[in-house]
Protein backbone atom coordinates (compact mmCIF):
# COMPACT_ATOMS: atom_id res chain seq x y z
CA UNK A 1 0.00 0.00 0.00
CA UNK A 2 2.86 2.36 0.77
CA UNK A 3 4.29 1.94 -2.72
CA UNK A 4 0.90 2.84 -4.27
CA UNK A 5 0.65 6.00 -2.13
CA UNK A 6 4.22 6.90 -3.01
CA UNK A 7 3.46 6.34 -6.70
CA UNK A 8 0.34 8.52 -6.47
CA UNK A 9 2.24 11.28 -4.70
CA UNK A 10 4.96 11.16 -7.37
CA UNK A 11 2.38 11.36 -10.19
CA UNK A 12 0.59 14.16 -8.38
CA UNK A 13 3.86 16.05 -7.97
CA UNK A 14 4.72 15.64 -11.66
CA UNK A 15 1.23 16.75 -12.68
CA UNK A 16 1.53 19.76 -10.39
CA UNK A 17 4.83 20.77 -12.02
CA UNK A 18 3.41 20.34 -15.52
CA UNK A 19 0.34 22.41 -14.62
CA UNK A 20 2.54 25.15 -13.16
CA UNK A 21 4.79 25.27 -16.25
CA UNK A 22 1.85 25.29 -18.69
CA UNK A 23 0.15 28.02 -16.63
CA UNK A 24 3.33 30.13 -16.63
CA UNK A 25 3.71 29.78 -20.41
CA UNK A 26 0.08 30.77 -20.99
CA UNK A 27 0.44 33.74 -18.63
CA UNK A 28 3.61 34.83 -20.45
CA UNK A 29 1.85 34.83 -23.82
CA UNK A 30 -1.14 36.74 -22.44
CA UNK A 31 1.10 39.38 -20.86
CA UNK A 32 3.38 39.86 -23.90
CA UNK A 33 0.50 39.61 -26.35
CA UNK A 34 -1.94 42.03 -24.75
CA UNK A 35 -0.46 43.92 -21.81
CA UNK A 36 3.22 44.84 -22.15
CA UNK A 37 6.44 44.04 -23.88
CA UNK A 38 10.11 44.76 -23.44
CA UNK A 39 12.25 46.56 -26.01
CA UNK A 40 15.98 47.14 -26.39
CA UNK A 41 17.10 50.45 -27.88
CA UNK A 42 19.33 49.88 -30.88
CA UNK A 43 20.84 52.91 -32.55
CA UNK A 44 21.04 56.63 -31.97
CA UNK A 45 17.69 57.91 -33.26
CA UNK A 46 16.25 58.74 -29.82
CA UNK A 47 19.33 60.37 -28.29
CA UNK A 48 19.63 62.22 -25.98
CA UNK A 49 16.42 60.81 -24.40
CA UNK A 50 17.31 57.13 -24.92
CA UNK A 51 20.72 55.57 -25.37
CA UNK A 52 21.99 52.45 -27.13
CA UNK A 53 21.08 49.29 -25.14
CA UNK A 54 18.56 51.01 -22.85
CA UNK A 55 15.85 48.52 -22.01
CA UNK A 56 12.25 49.67 -21.94
CA UNK A 57 8.84 48.39 -21.00
CA UNK A 58 6.13 49.40 -23.42
CA UNK A 59 2.45 49.12 -22.61
CA UNK A 60 0.09 47.62 -25.19
CA UNK A 61 -3.23 47.75 -23.36
CA UNK A 62 -3.70 51.57 -23.51
CA UNK A 63 -3.99 51.24 -27.30
CA UNK A 64 -7.22 49.26 -26.83
CA UNK A 65 -9.08 52.19 -25.29
CA UNK A 66 -7.17 55.36 -26.25
CA UNK A 67 -4.84 56.78 -28.87
CA UNK A 68 -1.20 57.80 -28.55
CA UNK A 69 -0.80 61.47 -27.69
CA UNK A 70 1.62 64.08 -28.91
CA UNK A 71 4.90 63.61 -27.05
CA UNK A 72 4.46 59.87 -26.37
CA UNK A 73 7.38 57.60 -27.15
CA UNK A 74 6.06 54.63 -29.10
CA UNK A 75 7.22 51.30 -30.47
CA UNK A 76 6.11 50.75 -34.08
CA UNK A 77 6.58 48.27 -36.88
CA UNK A 78 9.24 49.47 -39.28
CA UNK A 79 7.73 50.71 -42.54
CA UNK A 80 11.06 49.76 -44.16
CA UNK A 81 11.85 46.22 -42.93
CA UNK A 82 9.73 43.25 -41.88
CA UNK A 83 10.17 41.97 -38.32
CA UNK A 84 11.91 45.16 -37.19
CA UNK A 85 10.59 47.76 -34.77
CA UNK A 86 11.40 51.45 -34.38
CA UNK A 87 11.24 53.66 -31.31
CA UNK A 88 10.00 57.18 -32.10
CA UNK A 89 8.21 60.15 -30.54
CA UNK A 90 4.71 61.16 -31.64
CA UNK A 91 4.82 64.71 -33.02
CA UNK A 92 1.49 64.81 -34.85
CA UNK A 93 -1.85 63.07 -34.25
CA UNK A 94 -4.81 62.52 -36.59
CA UNK A 95 -6.02 65.76 -38.17
CA UNK A 96 -2.80 67.70 -37.51
CA UNK A 97 -0.80 69.50 -40.18
CA UNK A 98 2.96 69.18 -39.71
CA UNK A 99 5.37 71.56 -41.41
CA UNK A 100 9.12 71.79 -41.18
CA UNK A 101 10.63 75.12 -42.14
CA UNK A 102 13.75 77.02 -41.21
CA UNK A 103 14.88 74.04 -39.09
CA UNK A 104 11.81 74.10 -36.84
CA UNK A 105 8.73 71.89 -36.57
CA UNK A 106 5.28 73.47 -36.74
CA UNK A 107 2.09 71.68 -35.73
CA UNK A 108 -1.10 73.32 -36.97
CA UNK A 109 0.79 76.53 -37.71
CA UNK A 110 2.34 76.81 -34.22
CA UNK A 111 6.01 76.17 -33.49
CA UNK A 112 6.32 72.84 -31.68
CA UNK A 113 8.34 73.05 -28.46
CA UNK A 114 10.87 70.22 -28.28
CA UNK A 115 13.01 70.60 -25.19
CA UNK A 116 14.20 66.99 -25.53
CA UNK A 117 16.35 67.59 -28.64
CA UNK A 118 19.92 68.90 -28.55
CA UNK A 119 19.95 72.69 -28.35
CA UNK A 120 20.57 74.51 -31.64
CA UNK A 121 20.04 71.35 -33.72
CA UNK A 122 17.83 72.14 -36.70
CA UNK A 123 15.22 69.65 -37.90
CA UNK A 124 16.05 68.92 -41.51
CA UNK A 125 13.71 67.62 -44.19
CA UNK A 126 14.29 64.60 -46.42
CA UNK A 127 11.69 64.95 -49.18
CA UNK A 128 8.52 66.86 -48.37
CA UNK A 129 8.21 69.58 -45.76
CA UNK A 130 4.46 69.46 -45.04
CA UNK A 131 1.99 66.69 -44.14
CA UNK A 132 -1.69 66.67 -43.21
CA UNK A 133 -2.59 63.60 -41.19
CA UNK A 134 -5.61 61.41 -41.91
CA UNK A 135 -7.99 59.76 -39.43
CA UNK A 136 -5.62 57.01 -38.24
CA UNK A 137 -2.28 58.62 -39.09
CA UNK A 138 0.55 59.75 -36.83
CA UNK A 139 3.71 61.72 -37.55
CA UNK A 140 6.72 60.37 -35.64
CA UNK A 141 10.32 61.50 -35.33
CA UNK A 142 13.42 60.49 -33.45
CA UNK A 143 14.76 62.91 -30.86
CA UNK A 144 18.19 62.91 -32.56
CA UNK A 145 17.88 65.50 -35.34
CA UNK A 146 21.48 65.37 -36.51
CA UNK A 147 21.63 64.58 -40.25
CA UNK A 148 21.08 60.90 -41.00
CA UNK A 149 20.55 59.83 -37.37
CA UNK A 150 16.80 59.10 -37.45
CA UNK A 151 14.76 57.35 -40.10
CA UNK A 152 11.28 58.68 -39.35
CA UNK A 153 8.12 60.25 -40.83
CA UNK A 154 10.21 62.92 -42.53
CA UNK A 155 11.53 60.08 -44.67
CA UNK A 156 8.76 57.45 -44.85
CA UNK A 157 5.74 59.69 -44.18
CA UNK A 158 2.95 59.33 -41.62
CA UNK A 159 2.35 55.93 -40.01
CA UNK A 160 -0.98 54.17 -39.45
CA UNK A 161 -2.23 53.48 -35.93
CA UNK A 162 -2.30 49.74 -36.59
CA UNK A 163 1.52 49.73 -36.87
CA UNK A 164 1.93 51.00 -33.28
CA UNK A 165 2.87 48.15 -30.92
CA UNK A 166 3.07 49.97 -27.60
CA UNK A 167 3.74 53.16 -25.68
CA UNK A 168 7.13 53.15 -23.97
CA UNK A 169 6.70 54.26 -20.37
CA UNK A 170 9.47 52.78 -18.31
CA UNK A 171 13.25 52.24 -18.53
CA UNK A 172 14.54 49.35 -16.45
CA UNK A 173 18.12 49.27 -17.72
CA UNK A 174 20.60 50.68 -16.95
CA UNK A 175 19.75 50.65 -13.28
CA UNK A 176 21.16 54.17 -12.88
CA UNK A 177 18.36 55.46 -15.16
CA UNK A 178 15.63 53.18 -13.75
CA UNK A 179 12.21 54.83 -13.89
CA UNK A 180 9.58 56.49 -16.02
CA UNK A 181 10.56 57.96 -19.37
CA UNK A 182 7.07 59.24 -20.06
CA UNK A 183 5.92 61.62 -22.73
CA UNK A 184 5.42 65.36 -22.80
CA UNK A 185 2.06 65.01 -21.08
CA UNK A 186 3.42 63.25 -17.98
Residue of 3, 11, 13, 45 marked catalytic: 45
Query: What digits encode the pLDDT tens for the residues 114-153?
Result: 988 888 888 988 878 899 999 999 999 999 998 889 999 9
Which of 60, 88, 150, 153 is labelled catalytic? 88
Helix (H, G, I), strand (E, B) or coil at 6: helix
**How many Cα neighbours within 13 Å face the side chain of 149?**
19
Q: Is 111 inside any structural domain? A: yes
- Has residue 20 been placed in a domain? yes
Known active-site residue 4: no
* Cα gap 136→63, rounded to integer Å: 12
Inside any domain, residue 186: no
Asked if residue 144 is part of any domain, the answer here is yes
Which of 13-27, 72-86, 91-105, 126-140 shows the lowest mean pLDDT across its residues? 13-27
Give domain status of residue 97, yes or no: yes
In the residue annotation, 60 being an active-site residue is answered as no
Establish if 62 belongs to a structural domain: yes
The whole-angstrom distance between residue 122's C-alpha and the CA centroid of its chain comes to: 24
Where is average pLDDT lowest: 13-27, 61-75, 127-141, 166-180? 13-27
Alpha carbon distance 121, 114 (integer Å)? 11
Check the CA dihedral 131-133-137-141 and report its sign: positive
Domain housing 107: 2-180
Number of structural domains, the chain? 1
160: domain CATH number? 2.10.109.10
In a domain, residue 24? The reply is yes
Determine the Cα–Cα distance for residues 134 and 60; give it in Å rounded to an integer.
22
**18 inside domain:** yes
Residues 6+ apart with CB under 8 A from 108: 96, 97
Amino acid sequence: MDSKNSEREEKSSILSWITTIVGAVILYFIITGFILNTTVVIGESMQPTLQQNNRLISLKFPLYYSNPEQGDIIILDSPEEENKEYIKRVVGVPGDTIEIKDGSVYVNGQIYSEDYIEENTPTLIYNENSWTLGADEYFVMGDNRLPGKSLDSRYFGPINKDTIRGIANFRYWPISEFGSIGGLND
